[in-house]
């Protein structure tokens, strides 16, 4: 077992504090709603329950084992700890982000899925399912989330919020931003009439081309990365648009939704749209 004071775990706690504050700034949560976690070996660092994100300090972050046994719990761990642990058990995840963002919650009340309104949804594995409503903090919600995440990297929780995961917190957070942006695009498209939805074949073509171009890989200049490659955000957001600069940063619960801007020249999301 990892030592609870290991360098990797300390870094995870610091990262959780940094990204938790962004939940509010990016309109992905209000108050102390939402939560996130990072896996470090056989331990999970997860945000505590009931502490305002701008007050959160690294020493406040809780640490539990993969079966939920407390290792360091200066406060009550997030009520959604069972859902986080269920995702780690079911998916190749090292970070999980749970949001209470306005666009996905609104969509969840009226739709069974978020369809492929834009090809960037391929980053999430395809159309995003809406998991049936189950009370927060319950084993039933954890099961519903895992079912909705099958072959996906994001799911929407009916009348509740959303869940995304990744191979690190920057990637998981980028996916939460992307999901909120896609939900807004879909709502805006419905205002114009019946939207054209991308087919499974078209999404497969996007995925194949993204793999060919190696989008989604975070590469530094020293490693041969292209500074214009949108897969190289470096700070958890997109370089030139999308959710960081044209998505839910100035909207969500604060003023009714993200700005009307969409992708800049790199498409939404910081982990691999198009050039």
Phi/psi at 82 (5° precision):
-60, -35
Structure tokens of 67? 């079966």
HSE value, Cβ hemisphere, 13 Å, CA-based, for 104: 30
CB atoms near residue 23 (< 10 Å): 26
pTM: 0.80
Per the annotation, the verdict on 80 as an active-site residue is: yes
Cα→Cα distances 249→176, 236, 244, 269, Å = 12, 13, 6, 13
The sheet with strand 128-131 has its strands ordered as 70-72, 62-65, 43-46, 35-40, 95-99, 161-166, 154-157, 128-131, 113-114
pLDDT, one tens digit for every residue, the chain (275 residues): 556 568 899 999 999 999 998 999 999 998 889 999 999 999 999 999 988 888 999 999 999 999 999 999 999 999 999 999 999 999 999 999 999 999 999 999 999 999 999 999 999 999 999 999 999 999 999 999 999 999 999 999 999 999 999 999 999 999 999 999 999 999 999 999 999 999 999 999 999 998 899 876 655 443 333 333 333 333 433 333 344 433 333 333 333 333 333 333 334 444 443 32
Can you list the domains of the chain with their CATH numbers? 7-194 (3.40.225.10)
Angle between helices 81-90 and 139-148 (to 10 degrees): 40
Structure tokens of 76? 């009550």
Query: Which entry of 8, 55, 59, 80 is annotated as an active-site residue?
Result: 80
CA 109 to chain centre: 20
């Amino acid at each position: 077992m990892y030592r609870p004071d290991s360098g990797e775990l300390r870094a995870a706690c610091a990262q959780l504090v940094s990204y938790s504050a962004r939940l509010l700034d990016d309109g992905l949560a209000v108050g102390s709603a939402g939560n996130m976690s990072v896996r470090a070996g056989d331990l999970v660092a997860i945000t505590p329950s009931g502490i305002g994100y701008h007050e959160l300090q690294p020493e406040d972050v809780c640490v539990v084992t993969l079966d939920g046994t407390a290792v360091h719990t200066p406060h009550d761990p997030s009520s959604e700890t069972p859902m986080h642990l269920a995702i780690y058990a079911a998916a190749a995840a090292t970070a999980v982000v749970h949001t209470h963002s306005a666009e996905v919650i609104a969509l969840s009340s009226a739709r069974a899925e978020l369809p492929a309104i834009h090809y960037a949804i391929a980053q999430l594995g395809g159309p995003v399912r809406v998991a049936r409503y189950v009370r927060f903090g319950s084993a039933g919600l954890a099961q519903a989330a895992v079912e909705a995440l099958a072959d996906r990297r994001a799911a929407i929780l009916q009348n509740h919020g959303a869940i995304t995961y990744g191979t690190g917190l920057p990637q998981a957070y980028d996916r939460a931003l992307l999901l909120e942006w896609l939900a807004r695009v879909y709502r805006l498209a419905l205002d114009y009439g019946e939207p054209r939805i991308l087919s499974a074949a078209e999404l497969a073509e996007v995925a194949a081309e993204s793999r060919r171009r190696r989008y989604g890989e975070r590469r530094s200049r020293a490693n041969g990365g292209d500074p214009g490659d949108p897969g190289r955000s470096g700070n958890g957001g997109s370089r030139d648009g999308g959710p960081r600069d044209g998505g839910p940063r100035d909207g969500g619960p604060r003023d009714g939704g993200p700005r009307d801007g969409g992708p800049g020249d790199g498409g939404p999301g910081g982990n691999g749209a198009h050039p």
